[in-house]
C-alpha cells in the first residue's frame, strides 16, 4: 500500500500544509495510507485529520518513518547534514545553483532517496500542477499597502504576522487605510494575468484601490516605463528570467515620481535579471519594508514566504490543486511524478 507521511513544518512562520482533511479522506478512499504528524503550528487543526481516519505520528518523527513512506512537507528540512533515504515531496529550492540546494541534493545521494520537487510537478506542457501564487500576490499587495499607510504617518511598516482568515486581514488593513485620512493610492500590477498578479489585483480592488493591470503586451517594448513612476504602488508579479525588462531602474531613486512603495512579490534580488534593481536583499516579517530612498520616500516590500500569512486559505487552495496528482502516487514512474523524478536525476548526475 502506498503510504503518504505528512510531516510537521519546521521553518519559522510556516503554518501551511499541503493536504487538508478532505484531501486525506480522498486519498484513503483511493487506497493510500495517510499518516499526519502532530504540529504545534499547523493552521488546520489535527482533529480534522483524526476524524478523517488518518494515522497520527509525533511531531518531527518522519526520520523514523517506514522506509517505503513518502514524506510530504512544503518547506525546507533542517540543515543537519543527515542522509535522506526516504522519497520526499517538498519545495527543495535545489536546482538553480543555490548553495543550500547542493547540500540537500548531496544528502539525497548519500541516503538513496528521491526529491519530488513541488516546483517541478508539471503537466506535459510544463505548467505546474499546483502553486501558491494567488495568495502570494494577495498577501504581498496587503503588506505593500501597509507600507504605504505607514508612510502617510511618516513611519516605516512594522512587523506583520499570521492572519486567521483573509477577512481579518481585510478588516485590519481597511481600518489602517481609513486612518491615514488620505484617498486610496493608485497601484500598477505587472504580471496581472498570472496567478500572482490576479491575487494582488483582487486584494487591491477589495479595498477600493484603483489598479492598472499590465502583462506581457504592455512591457514588450523593454522600457523605460514612466507609467510605473506615476503610480503610488508598484506590484511586481513576474519572476526574473533572461529577457525580463527593468521596471524600476536605479535612476528612479532620485527621479521625480509618485511611486513610494514597491511590492516585489516575485522577490528575486539575487538574480542577474532582477527587474527591480533598487534593492539587494529580501525583507522579513519583522522588518517588512526596506527604505531605499528618502527624498522622495521609496520603500520596498520583498518577503519570500508571503502565502504563510494566510495559511488556511492558501493551504485549502493549494491542497485542492495538488490532490489529483497525489491520487496518482501509486505510480511514481508515470505522469507528474515521473517527470519530477527525471528532473531530480538530471540535477544529481555526477
What is the DSSP annotation of 219-246? Answer: HTT----HHHHTSSEEEE-S---TTPPP
Please indicate, yes or no, whether residues 21 and 138 belong to a single structural domain of this protein. Answer: no
Residue 271 pLDDT > 90: no
Please indicate, yes or no, whether residues 317 and 169 belong to a single structural domain of this protein. Answer: no
The whole-number pLDDT of residue 270 equals: 82
Domain with 48, as residue range(s), is: 3-120+311-347
The model's confidence at residue 272, banded by pLDDT at 50, 70 and 90, is: confident
Q: Is residue 128 part of a domain?
A: no
What secondary structure does DSSP assign to 71-128, as a single string? EE-SSPPP-------SEEEE----SSS-HHHHHHHHHHHHHT--EEEGGG-B-TTS-B
Q: Is residue 180 part of a domain?
A: yes
Q: Is residue 167 part of a domain?
A: yes
Please indicate, yes or no, whether residues 99 and 18 belong to a single structural domain of this protein. Answer: yes
Q: Is residue 125 part of a domain?
A: no
Average pLDDT of the residues in 92-100: 80
* Residue carrying the nine cell digits 507600507: 147
Q: Is residue 262 part of a domain?
A: yes
Q: Is residue 207 part of a domain?
A: yes
Please indicate, yes or no, whether residues 251 and 147 belong to a single structural domain of this protein. Answer: yes
Q: Is residue 158 part of a domain?
A: yes
Q: Which are the contacts of 127, defined by CB distance < 8 A and separation ≥ 6?
A: none
Q: Report CA 131 to chain centroid distance, whole Å.
A: 8
What's the CATH code of the domain at 15?
3.40.50.720
Q: Which residues, in sequence order, are bridge partners of residue 233?
A: 187, 261
- The number of folded domains in the chain is 2
* pTM of the predicted model as reported, rounded to 2 decimal places: 0.91
Fill in the DSSP letter of residue 263. E
Q: Where are the beta strands (DSSP E) in 153-232?
A: 186-190, 210-214
Rounded to 10 degrees, the C-alpha dihedral 307/75/57/331 comes to 100
Please indicate, yes or no, whether residues 199 and 274 belong to a single structural domain of this protein. Answer: yes
Rg (CA), the chain: 21
Average pLDDT of the residues in 232-255: 94
Q: Rounded to an integer, what distance in angstroms lies between the CA atom of residue 58 and that of residue 39?
A: 8
Q: Which residues, in sequence order, are bridge partners of residue 34?
A: 4
The model's confidence at residue 100, banded by pLDDT at 50, 70 and 90, is: confident
Please indicate, yes or no, whether residues 144 and 67 belong to a single structural domain of this protein. Answer: no
Please indicate, yes or no, whether residues 145 and 103 belong to a single structural domain of this protein. Answer: no
Residue 98 pLDDT > 80: no
Q: How do residues 54-95 score in pLDDT, each as one tens digit?
A: 999 999 999 999 999 999 999 989 999 999 999 999 999 888
The whole-number pLDDT of residue 273 equals: 87
Active site residues: 75, 93
Please indicate, yes or no, whether residues 161 and 294 belong to a single structural domain of this protein. Answer: yes
The model's confidence at residue 304, banded by pLDDT at 50, 70 and 90, is: confident
Q: Rounded to an integer, what distance in angstroms lies between the CA atom of residue 146 and that of residue 289?
A: 9
* pLDDT more than 90, % of the chain: 91
Weakest-pLDDT range from 6-10, 12-16, 131-135, 137-141: 12-16
Please indicate, yes or no, whether residues 158 and 251 belong to a single structural domain of this protein. Answer: yes
Q: Is residue 126 part of a domain?
A: no
Mean per-residue pLDDT of the chain = 96
Between the alpha carbon of residue 323 and those of residues 28, 123, 216, the distances in Å are 12, 14, 31
Name the 3-class secondary structure at 318.
Answer: helix
Please indicate, yes or no, whether residues 163 and 71 belong to a single structural domain of this protein. Answer: no
* pLDDT more than 70, % of the chain: 99
Please indicate, yes or no, whether residues 162 and 267 belong to a single structural domain of this protein. Answer: yes
Please indicate, yes or no, whether residues 146 and 272 belong to a single structural domain of this protein. Answer: yes
Amino acid at each position: 500500500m502506498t503510504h503518504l507521511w505528512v510531516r510537521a513544518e519546521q521553518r519559522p512562520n510556516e503554518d501551511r500544509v499541503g493536504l487538508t482533511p478532505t484531501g486525506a479522506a480522498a486519498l484513503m478512499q483511493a487506497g493510500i495510507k495517510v499518516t499526519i504528524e502532530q504540529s504545534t503550528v499547523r493552521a488546520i487543526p489535527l482533529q480534522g485529520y483524526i476524524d478523517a481516519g488518518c494515522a497520527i505520528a509525533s511531531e518531527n518523527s518522519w526520520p523514523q518513518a517506514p522506509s517505503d513512506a513518502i514524506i510530504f512537507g512544503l518547506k525546507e528540512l533542517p540543515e543537519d547534514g543527515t542522509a535522506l533515504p526516504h522519497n520526499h515531496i517538498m519545495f527543495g529550492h535545489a536546482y538553480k545553483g543555490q548553495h543550500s540546494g547542493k547540500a540537500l541534493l548531496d544528502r539525497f545521494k548519500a541516503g538513496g532517496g528521491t526529491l519530488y520537487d513541488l516546483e517541478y510537478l508539471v503537466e506535459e506542457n510544463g505548467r505546474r500542477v499546483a502553486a501558491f501564487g494567488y495568495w502570494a500576490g494577495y498577501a504581498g499587495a496587503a503588506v505593500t499597502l501597509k507600507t504605504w499607510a505607514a508612510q502617510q504617518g511618516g513611519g516605516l511598516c512594522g512587523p506583520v504576522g499570521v492572519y486567521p482568515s483573509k477577512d481579518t486581514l481585510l478588516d485590519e488593513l481597511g481600518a489602517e487605510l481609513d486612518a491615514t485620512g488620505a484617498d486610496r493610492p493608485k497601484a500598477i500590477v505587472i504580471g496581472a494575468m498570472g496567478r500572482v498578479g490576479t491575487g494582488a489585483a483582487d486584494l487591491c480592488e477589495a479595498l477600493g484601490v484603483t489598479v492598472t493591470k499590465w502583462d506581457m503586451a504592455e512591457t514588450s517594448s523593454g522600457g523605460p516605463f514612466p507609467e510605473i513612476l506615476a503610480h503610488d504602488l508598484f506590484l511586481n508579479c513576474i519572476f526574473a528570467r533572461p529577457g525580463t525588462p527593468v521596471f524600476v531602474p536605479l535612476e528612479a531613486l532620485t527621479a521625480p515620481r509618485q511611486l513610494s512603495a514597491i511590492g516585489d512579490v516575485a522577490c528575486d534580488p539575487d538574480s542577474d535579471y532582477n527587474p527591480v534593481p533598487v534593492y539587494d536583499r529580501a525583507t522579513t516579517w519583522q522588518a517588512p519594508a526596506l527604505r531605499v530612498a528618502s527624498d522622495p520616500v521609496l520603500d520596498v516590500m520583498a518577503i519570500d514566504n508571503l502565502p504563510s500569512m494566510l495559511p488556511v486559505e492558501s493551504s485549502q487552495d493549494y491542497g485542492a490543486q495538488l490532490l489529483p496528482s497525489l491520487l496518482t502516487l501509486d505510480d511514481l514512474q508515470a505522469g507528474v511524478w515521473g517527470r519530477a523524478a527525471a528532473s531530480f536525476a538530471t540535477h544529481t548526475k555526477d
